[in-house]
Amino acid sequence: MVQVILKTDRVVFEVLGADKIWAFKSRLEIPFSCIRGANADPDAGRGWWKGWRLPGTQLPGVITAGTYYKKGKRTFWDVHGGARAIVVDLVNHKYDQLVIEVEDPIGEVRKLEKIVALENELVTAKGR
């Protein structure tokens, strides 16, 4: 599971518990400007092929954690089954996407969508 923490100019995705071992990562810090959207996706964990593991852990139907590369996209996964999974789309970052399990998928998506809206407003204001 991952905890989402808002900082002044970035979002910290804190990997919790033993998932740090399975994912080979304890946290990701993503600048607000790199986040393009988020959505809750309880089906994200379905299927067994997530891509090439670089490094990571996968037991189909149990856990997918770590970095995976598929169809030209690098994705960070931390999902157990996926019922509470969210997908975070990124730009200008080493990851193209995060697929993570959180305590409150709808609440976290709303929080991230607010960041996207504020970033879009800033870009529009700078362009005026």
The amino acid present at 16, given as its one-letter code, is: L
**pLDDT value at residue 124:** 78
Positive/negative CA dihedral, 82, 83, 84, 90: positive
Measured distance CA(27)–CA(33) in Å, rounded? 18
Report CA-CA distances (Å) from 122 to 8, 30, 35.
Answer: 15, 17, 14
How would you write the pLDDT of the chain (128 residues) with one tens digit per residue?
999 999 989 999 999 999 999 999 999 999 999 999 999 999 888 877 788 888 999 888 889 999 999 999 999 999 998 899 999 999 999 999 999 999 999 999 999 999 999 887 877 777 65
Three-class secondary structure of residue 22 per DSSP: helix
pLDDT given at position 44:
85
Q: What number of other Cβ atoms are within 10 A of residue 11's Cβ? A: 22
